[in-house]
Amino acid sequence: MITERNRASFDTKGLAEHLNGGREKLKRLGELADLLHQQDWGNKSQRYYLNRQDTYEGALKAALGIWDLIRKKVITMEDAMEARKLVDFPGGLELHIGMFIPTLLSQASPDQQAEWLPKALGLKLIGTYAQTELGHGTFVRGLQTTATYDPQSQEFVIHTPTLAATKWWPGGLGKTSTHVVAMARLFIKGKDYGPHSFVVPIRDMATHLPLPGIKVGDIGPKFGYNGVDNGFLSFNHVRVARENMLMRFSKVTEDGKYVPPPPSNQKASYATMVYVRATIVEGAGWALARSVTIAVRYAAVRRQTAAHAGELEVQVLDYQNTAADLLPLLAASYALIFMGKAGMAMYTEFEQDRDRGNFEKLPELHAVLSGMKAVSTTIASDGMEAARRACGGHGYSLLSGLPTTFTHYVQNVTWEGDNNVMLLQTARYLVKQLLAARAGKASGVGSADYTNNAEAELRQRCAVASSRDWLDPALQSAAFRHRSARLCVAVTDLLASASGGKVAFEGPAWNSNTVDLIRLARAHCYFVLHSTFADSVQRLSDEGTLPAPTIAALSKLVSLFALSTISREAGDLLEDGYMSGQQVEWARRQYYGVLRALRPDAVGLADAFGLSDYLLNSALGRADGDVYRALLAAAQASPLNTTEEGPAWDGVLKPLLKPRARL
Amino acid sequence: MITERNRASFDTKGLAEHLNGGREKLKRLGELADLLHQQDWGNKSQRYYLNRQDTYEGALKAALGIWDLIRKKVITMEDAMEARKLVDFPGGLELHIGMFIPTLLSQASPDQQAEWLPKALGLKLIGTYAQTELGHGTFVRGLQTTATYDPQSQEFVIHTPTLAATKWWPGGLGKTSTHVVAMARLFIKGKDYGPHSFVVPIRDMATHLPLPGIKVGDIGPKFGYNGVDNGFLSFNHVRVARENMLMRFSKVTEDGKYVPPPPSNQKASYATMVYVRATIVEGAGWALARSVTIAVRYAAVRRQTAAHAGELEVQVLDYQNTAADLLPLLAASYALIFMGKAGMAMYTEFEQDRDRGNFEKLPELHAVLSGMKAVSTTIASDGMEAARRACGGHGYSLLSGLPTTFTHYVQNVTWEGDNNVMLLQTARYLVKQLLAARAGKASGVGSADYTNNAEAELRQRCAVASSRDWLDPALQSAAFRHRSARLCVAVTDLLASASGGKVAFEGPAWNSNTVDLIRLARAHCYFVLHSTFADSVQRLSDEGTLPAPTIAALSKLVSLFALSTISREAGDLLEDGYMSGQQVEWARRQYYGVLRALRPDAVGLADAFGLSDYLLNSALGRADGDVYRALLAAAQASPLNTTEEGPAWDGVLKPLLKPRARL
């Protein structure tokens, strides 16, 4: 491992500091890891052996442990955010912290905040956010839970009219939360005002038993994330006071008059989504980085096959196919982290514009980050599983850290907007931009500006004239841009012809072309992802933020991201003649060349994520490379090994084998 | 669901009978499911809630329960094979049945069989097969465990010389097995004779404690398959009698003379591998069928988004992208099942040839099934996860059956030959065939016959002249064949130029071209998979085995398999000009057309696998479609719901929330 580290062409520690927000921040992460490791609830040595109940309890204790460290002023609130990630033990308080409190902050009136916020912040009540229903997810307007206003008692009657309307999924709902913010359709005098938010107490504060009319419980074990008690909830005509509807924006008066929200509300909620999705994109990069760190380190330690018995076997990282499995994932991790940081910067920029009343950039930002949420979480999920498989048998062991990292993460392709739905939002935006441009209206800004002259773009041809040319980020970017423009024109024409000229954004014609629409959105996101990565590295170079060898290594990653993608998806660029067979062949040869060039930097680029052994909790991914000793030690600690004869000896095996003389 | 079933254009029951080996066989499967469901150990209602120890014990009880039903003559041995699949609870006896007994049968001398077989068959001892080591897997010659012959005592001394030589992975080794067949390098008088097999007792038959010199235990929790106690094992100079070396083929005499195996031995072991891999290929089809059945049924039940609130939402199967996610997986399942059946028929044919001393077909059969093992298990694993994701949030719940089906299965990409290694075997064979053909020697038989005139094949062009032409299996097959031939020539030329003309099949030049080699092998396997599927359907039609509407539906699946692949991987066929952009566009339009045409048959084609609710054990995949009621019922039975207040109330939450008046 030391040999591998010495091969790196750049200062890995410097890059780790940059990615993690500076030298002090990285140092603090190390101190926090040491501190957490010493806490009962932060010690991860038993983590992979816990059953469901212990996982649930352990996760709660970890969250409360962090809370306690803040209270005792051992750590700051900012530390606590990092500590949650380092302890990596999501539990019953996730949505209290992540949704219940933020919803009160954004949607409750000042009076309501005065009532509930201190209790929520002091953990005197625990809340969650109940929107999704058993049979209704994505389509919020299709939710069936009702909140009917009774002007007599000035109460809302919250009710679950059908089995499929049972609330389903909210984290912490099962056994932890005492309150929920429930999304329900507001009815006043028989009229449906659509989904609104209501604070509903669901458990008795003295006994923690469900209140009358409430049926609540845990939805059962899941692929991962089992520390969280995702729950179900149904209401049987449960009454709450009028004041329990969150009334910062829309209101219901005592006599049952509905006051609609101001129109700017919609934009504010889009802005929140933009913020959340930028976080998800960077998070995708870090999640993938974690699996890739483990896999790259193990591929440097692991050896497989020698020409002759007795010879030292070959490091698996020296097989081209292993390098091709892992190094593009390394590049993707970097691309996503830089994309997330850029997305956050764009959000900050937008906030400044917004404060000047300028919402101009919001639609583009929202549209791109919707699709980017989908693309980033898919790249991360698929990449994590690919990294796991690249570790052979040991990747199948929980002790490698790889299976649980994946199973915890992969829900990201579904929650916060199903990935297909997200991509269709991006596609809708792009098609609209193209239609506007064709109608002669001012159109595409930012990444979608190709819609302004898409027809001209169709006539462009790839300018690469040698294998070396493919190392030019501008020529790489041109290819991604061309693909996106071509697919945009193609699917827009399809939609128009499917509905007699006028494009409809829902209904049968739309639903019958979603494959091509998703293909367009994905292509657009790859275009943005690549160009943002290339631009970020260029800026770091121009500003002298990082030394030249580091920039050189990052530039190779930009090329690797581009060329591995173009090689794999060459058909998209060959189909209309943009690229020739020779140009694809050059791209592939250059791709293999970059793999070779990056081989000495592989472990260094993994190290540069700066992920601690504490975070990784992986026998395979240890920084010191002493994997086999670690695997054996961890295995011996497994509960099945508590006794030498094992749990089935007395009850099952002994009666069968009937003790007799040794064979 | 009834509506969906009525839409099917063919007799689903008839197809189910055909796929499952006939009407009687399918009926018997149903009876077995009913029988098993009634057994304590066969009841699956608690399966998703078990912790590791209970899973281990439960799986052992299930295996012994089946054993007992055979003993009591309630079921036959043939029934038992099916019962193991239906109970679907792999445990500590898997390798006793699957490897220990078969190894005794194939490698033990008659005297050794007389000694050990009756005890093994009567479960008076439990064995496993210990080959893989902690740091050594694929490269058998690199194993480090030694067996040194001591002519004085006429014993072998079995020893683990390094930590990395610890035996690792054998199923049932951890806490169940009393004996192992250990692979160890045979040393006689200082000379290394390579890996040989030894029967070694590891546990005391009276106490089940490890014998002196033995360190053994469970390797800890895994992604899936946790009913199996995969184990570790190290030997500290453990002595076994000379008679414990399996001596049917190679022998060591009392005075320490080594008698090598007869040369035909190698061929016999290849034949065994062929048999095992044909089983894996068909198994991959059935494994995928299981997830696809669940996902297709749920996609027919699940509705998402209406144009207006209050309207019935759209069945998700009616979105083109959902159909494109699921129907090609349906096609792949069928392709793999037919491929497995064909592989088995080829094996049977080979057995007849072999009995006449003819081994001619073995190399091709072995080469194709190596790569096919890799391609089939990858298609199945990726497809299972894709099917899971297509189910949205509910696919993340263990109650859907989808996560555990995947985690149990996915180890198939690694065991019985790592997939990359398997594909490289296929590539090696193809390159050798091409080199032989170029040298003017008789070459490629069967699927590799294109190597005989590969250069001519390079000049071929796709003959498709309309979108409709793409429905012709011969034109589909020609495309797959062309791709394979072209990639074979290209990589062979690369290898030759990398090593100055003479192609080496190991070493740096080989290791640096494994990406293209794997690409070739994969392309070849897709060619074989498609043509075998098409030919199988054609034969069923010619022989009148299935009625015309069923043949029509299966033919659409053949086209779907071909066109979804060609659309996705068009670059491979555009790059050298074999196909034009127009032809790709036709392929894509026809692909979408077949998706539409198959939509009414979707549920019927899933039903036609004939998988019982008992096997599926899925709230989402129930034949009756009553998924939401089933999900809620299963959730309520989850152990976290044993008490209303939950397991963390007393110890964790109560002290925090400090009972007080209701808010």
CATH of B267-447+468-607, one of 1.10.357.10, 3.40.225.10, 1.20.140.10, 1.10.10.1100: 1.20.140.10
* CA nearest neighbour of B205 among B178, B242, B168: B178
Among left, alpha and beta (phi > 0; psi -120 to 50; other), residue B268 is alpha
Nearest CA in chain A to B629: A163
Give yes or no for a contact between A566 and A573, defined as CB atoms under 8 angstroms apart.
yes
User: Which residues in chain A touch residue B416, judged by CB atoms under 8 angstroms apart?
Assistant: none
Task: Please provide the CATH number assigned to the domain covering A97-251.
Answer: 2.40.110.10
Mean pLDDT of B560-584: 97
- How far does the CA of residue B89 sit from the closest CA of chain A (Å)? 16
Question: Does 3.40.50.300 match the CATH number of domain A269-442+469-607?
Answer: no
| pLDDT at residue B309, as a whole number | 66
- Specify the pLDDT at position A661: 44
Euclidean distance between CA atoms B658 and A445, whole angstroms:
55
pLDDT above 90 covers a percentage of chain A that reads 85
Tell me the backbone φ, ψ of residue B133, rounded to 5 degrees.
Answer: -115, 160
pLDDT > 90? residue B267: no
Q: CA of A201: which chain B residue's CA is closest? A: B663
Separation CA B220–CA A255 (nearest Å)? 64
B140 contacts B131 by C-beta, under 8 angstroms: yes
Distance CA B589, CA B581 (A): 12
Q: Is B51 exposed, middle or buried (0-12, 13-18, 19+ CB in 10 A)?
A: middle
Q: Reply yes or no on whether the pLDDT at B662 is more than 60.
A: no
Q: Which residue from A175, A210, A309 is facing B640, i.e. has the nearest CB?
A: A175
C-alpha B466/C-alpha A230 separation (Å) is: 53
Mapped onto helix, strand or coil, the DSSP state of residue B274 is: helix
Which one of B136, B321, B654 has the shortest CB-CB distance to A514?
Answer: B321
ipTM of predicted complex: 0.95
Q: Considering only alpha carbons, which residue of chain B is nearest residue A411?
A: B396
Write out chain B residues lying below 8 Å of A204, CB-based. 662
CB-CB neighbors (< 8 A) of A634 in chain B: 220
B336: distance to nearest CA of chain A, Å? 22
Between chains, do B219 and A194 touch, taking CB under 8 Å as contact?
A: no
Q: Which residues of A touch B169 (CB under 8 A)?
A: 393
Tell me if residue A158 falls in helix, strand or coil.
strand
Mean pLDDT on A223-250: 96
Residue the block writes with tokens 């290339």: A534
**Model confidence at A275: pLDDT above 90:** no
User: For B19-75, how does the pLDDT look when each residue is reduced to its tens digit (9 = 90+)?
Assistant: 999 999 999 999 999 999 999 999 999 999 999 999 999 999 999 999 999 999 999
Of residues B273 and B33, the one with the higher pLDDT is B33
- Out of B204, B648, B660, closest to residue A662 by CB: B204
Position A196 scores a pLDDT of 95
Question: Does the pLDDT at position A445 exceed 80?
Answer: no
**Where do the domains of chain B lie?**
97-261, 267-447+468-607
Q: What per-residue confidence (pLDDT) applies to B263?
A: 77
pLDDT at A662: 44
Shortest distance between the Cα of A608 and any Cα of chain B, in A, equals 26
CB A607 within 8 A of CB A14: no
A220–B399 CB contact, under 8 Å: yes
Contact A307/B398, CB-based, under 8 Å? no
Residue B661: pLDDT band by 50, 70, 90 thresholds? very low
E-strand spans in A421-553? none
Q: What six digits make up the tokens of A610?
A: 């700066």
- For B220, the closest of A48, A393, A629 (CB atoms) is A48
Whole-number pLDDT of residue A59 = 97
pLDDT of residue B140: 79
In chain A, residues with a C-beta closer than 8 Å to the C-beta of B395 are 414
CB atoms within 10 A of CB B314: 20
d(CA A119, CA A122): 5
Torsion sign (Cα): A57, A60, A65, A66:
positive
Q: What are phi and psi of B181, to 5 degrees?
A: -95, 115
Residue A437 has pLDDT above 50, yes or no: yes
Min mean pLDDT across B18-32, B428-442, B518-532 is at B428-442
Asked if A97-251 and A269-442+469-607 have one fold, the answer is no
Locate all alpha helices (DSSP H) within B312-400, ordered by sequence.
Answer: 320-355, 362-389
CA distances from A477 to A322, A456, A530 (A): 27, 17, 7
CB-nearest partner of A628 from B163, B318, B640: B163
C-alpha distance from A169 to closest chain B C-alpha (Å): 8
**A/B interface, count of CB pairs below 8 Å:** 408
Which active-site residues of A does the annotation give? 416
Query: Is the model's pLDDT at B550 over the cut of 50?
Result: yes
Q: State the Cα–Cα distance between residues B362 and B375, nearest whole angstrom.
A: 20
Which residues in chain A have Cβ-Cβ distances shorter than 8 Å to B136? 313
Residue A46 and residue A33: Cα distance in Å, rounded? 17
- Per-residue pLDDT, A663: 44
Could you tell me which residue, A308 or B546, shows the higher pLDDT?
B546
Q: Which residues of A touch B132 (CB under 8 A)?
A: 393
Residue B366 gets which letter from DSSP?
Answer: H
Is B220 in contact with A640 (Cβ distance < 8 A)?
yes
Contact residues, chain A, for B392 at CB < 8 Å: 137-138, 414, 418
Interchain CB distance below 8 Å, A511 and B629 = no
Give the span between the Cα atoms of B54 and A388, in whole angstroms: 27
Q: What is the mean pLDDT of chain A?
A: 94
* A631-660 tens-digit pLDDT: 999 999 999 999 999 999 999 999 988 755
Write the residue in A575, A628, A645 that is nearest to B209 by C-beta.
A645
- CB count, 10 Å around CB of B586? 21
Interface touch B638/A571, C-beta < 8 Å: no
Query: Would you state the pLDDT for residue A354?
Result: 82
Picking from A545, A433, A518, the residue whose alpha carbon sits closest to that of residue A15 is A545
Q: Measure in Å the smallest separation between the Cα of B162 and chain A Cα atoms.
A: 11
* Annotated active-site residue in B57, B115, B243, B416: B416
C-alpha to C-alpha distance for A624 and A634, rounded to whole angstroms: 16
Please report, as a single letter, which amino acid is at residue B98: G
Q: What is the pLDDT of residues A499-525, one digit of tens each?
A: 888 899 988 899 999 999 999 999 999
Residue B167 pLDDT class (50, 70, 90 cuts): very high
- Give residue B441's pLDDT: 86
CATH of the domain spanning B97-261: 2.40.110.10
Cβ pair A223:B653 closer than 8 A = no
Work out the minimum CA distance from B57 to partner chain A, whole angstroms. 6
